[in-house]
Amino acid sequence: MPSAIRPATPTTGITKLTNCRLVRGDSLVNGDIWVSSRTGKIVQSQRAFYDELIVPDETIDLGGRIVSPGLIDCQLNGAFGFNFSTLLDDTTQYGKKVKEVNKLMVQTGVTSYLPTVTSQTSELYHAVLPYLGPSGQQRLSADGAEVLGAHVEGPFLSPTKNGIHKVDVLVEAHSFGDLEAMYGQENITPGSDKPMPIKMITAAPERGAMTSLIPEITRRGIIYSIGHSEATFEEASAAVSQGATMITHLFNAMRPLHHRNPGVFGVLGKAESHEQPYFGVISDGIHLHPTTVKIAWNAHPEGFILVTDAMHLVGLPDGAYQWRNGEDIDHIVKKGSVLLLEGSDKIAGSSITLIECVNNFLNWSGTSIPQALKAVTATPAAMLGIQDTKGTLEAGADADLVIFSEERTESGLKLVVDEVWKFGARVH
């Protein structure tokens, strides 16, 4: 029968984005990308066409704009007025607050992140960590940004590199039992029914028996990150060979690079004995000098991860804000994007968004757009061991996308978040 078949009327949940510049590795490639809101994944279009005889429900012409994997922030202390290190009288409210943050967070282009809890008492960890476990099992676009698990920054830190963390709550661990007691056993033990809340631990390897505990931490699927540490180059190298794969905010809260002992920074140097670790860098223009950021990038571009270390004050007006720090209530003074601990000149985290970090880095380093975006997509995904599902536009990965337009400003090129897609549906 000579009959052409009309495009199928039943919906497939598939959207084709055409006329895109796709971030693929270190280049921008002209092409199309198919995403499915049914599976929440990026579709292997050729296979869908020939095998399932599928045509997209909708084709959207992006007019040559950039399509990047959704951004991943590995260190976010809070946002939109909510601090993850908060003990609420009614703990059920905590989960609600996290959900609110997720919905707002996604609008900034961050589609997944690690909510970060600073050095606190055991009581707070026990109370909040159950609410900070991975949130993406349902694969619901409407949930907004996805929590990949908690980053506990402390309290096994060096009292002399505490930054703004309260020295009183900093402790040493001598056995894995100390970690279980601190965070709550169920929060640090992989279970069968629910994903384990903790995804990353920042700790000073030279404190207590920490270095010897690293293998057990990583065995449980948790990333061990060196940070807030007095570690010498030798101590840092030992931690890396025990399984440390990350460094928390490189240069900040650690010994400066010394020509006779390069300290933690030294492990970024190529060595046959161990893999070079990943490292977080805050490119807010306050924590680090632009040149320092460039040096870090040049030392090991494949390990370079941009993080915000942002506090919950992002987007709030200037002034002094209450902040629970350990057992005390302190105040953080916000002046523009600068956050200082009241009565000191200590930097109290940042109030920058991740895309602003990318834009700063783009202009300081003169690197290409895909390379800059890699520092908030493919590299953090690889660090977290989720490179097949996040931080990539390959078929089969989660369809978390950010669509950028470019703006020329006085300070140079700027990427602007136009659209955000989560699990195959547009959410912003």
Q: Is 127 annotated as a binding residue?
A: no
Say how far apart CA 128 and CA 178 lie, in whole Å. Answer: 18
Active site residue 309: yes
The sign of the torsion formed by the CA atoms of 281, 285, 287, 288 equals positive
Q: Environment class of residue 324 by beta-carbon count within 10 Å: exposed (0-12), middle (13-18) or buried (19+)?
A: middle
Contact 344, 323 (CB under 8 A): no
Sequence-ordered list of residues with C-beta below 8 angstroms from that of 424, at least 6 positions apart, any chain: 13, 15, 35, 36, 37, 38, 39, 40, 41, 42, 141, 399
Residue (of 94, 101, 183) closest to 147 by Cα position: 101
Write down the least CB distance from residue 251 to another protein, Å: 44
Asked if 5 interacts with another protein (CB under 8 A), we say: yes
E strands, 220-318, where?
223-226, 246-247, 278-281, 304-306
Stretch that binds another protein, among 50-58, 76-84, 357-365, 413-421 (CB under 8 A): 50-58
Q: Which is nearer to another protein, 11 or 44 (CB)?
A: 44
Q: What are phi and psi of 323, to 5 degrees?
A: -145, 125
Instruction: Tell me how far, at minimum, the Cβ of 47 lies from another protein, in Å.
Output: 6
- The count of other CB atoms within 10 Å of the CB of residue 123 is 11
Output the smallest distance, CB 2 to another protein, in A: 4
Instruction: Identify the DSSP state of 78.
Output: E
Interacting residue with another protein among 13, 24, 26, 32 (CB under 8 A): 32
Q: Beta partners for 246?
A: 225, 278
- 79-108 residues in contact with another protein (CB under 8 A) are none
Which residue, 48 or 201, is less far from another protein as judged by CB? 48
**2 is a contact residue toward another protein (CB under 8 A):** yes
**Under 8 Å between Cβ of 229 and 161:** yes
> Considering only residues 317-346, where is the footprint of another protein by CB under 8 A?
none
Q: What dihedral do alpha carbons 30, 35, 41, 43 form, nearest 10°?
A: -70
Count residues binding another protein (CB under 8 A).
19
> Smallest gap, in angstroms, from Cβ of residue 297 to another protein?
33
Which segments within 275-400 are labelled E, that is strand?
Answer: 278-281, 304-306, 319-325, 328-335, 338-341, 347-350
Cβ proximity of 102 and 145 under 8 Å:
yes
278-307 as b/e: b if 16+ CB within 10 A: bbbbbbbbbbbeeebbbbbbebbeebbbbb
Between 16 and 255, name the residue whose CB sits nearer to another protein. Answer: 16
The answer to whether 8 contacts another protein (rule: CB under 8 A) is yes
User: What single letter denotes the amino acid at residue 216?
Assistant: E
Nearer to another protein, 1 or 329 (CB): 1
C-alpha torsion 133→373→224→198, nearest 10: 0
Residues in contact with another protein, shown as a per-residue x/- string from 51 to 80 under the rule CB under 8 A: --xxx-------------------------
Does the footprint of another protein cover residue 24 (CB under 8 A)? no
* DSSP code of residue 124: H
Name the nearest CA neighbour of 119 among 330, 324, 309: 324
Query: Rounded to the nearest whole angstrom, what is the least distance from the CB of residue 398 to another protein in the complex?
Result: 21
Q: How far is the CB of 111 from another protein (least distance, A)?
A: 26
50 vs 260 by CB, closer to another protein: 50
Instruction: Find the binder of another protein among 27, 46, 298, 411 (CB under 8 A).
Output: 46
Please, which residue, 7 or 336, has the CB nearer to another protein? 7
Q: Is 348 annotated as a binding residue?
A: yes
**CB nearer to another protein: pick between 11 and 368:** 11
375 is in an annotated binding site: no
Of positions 7, 10, 317, 336, contacts another protein by CB under 8 A? 7
Q: Considering only 42-50, 68-76, 215-223, 227-235, which stretch makes contact with another protein by CB under 8 A?
A: 42-50
Select which of 143, 284, 309, 330 is catalytic: 309
| Residue 287, annotated as binding a ligand | yes
Stretch that binds another protein, among 41-49, 97-105, 170-178, 363-371 (CB under 8 A): 41-49
Known binding residues are 153, 164, 228, 249, 252-253, 260, 287, 347-349
Known binding residues for substrate are 164, 252-253, 260, 287, 347-349
Query: What are the residues binding another protein (CB under 8 A)?
Result: 1-8, 18, 32, 44-47, 49-50, 53-55
Residues designated as active site: 309
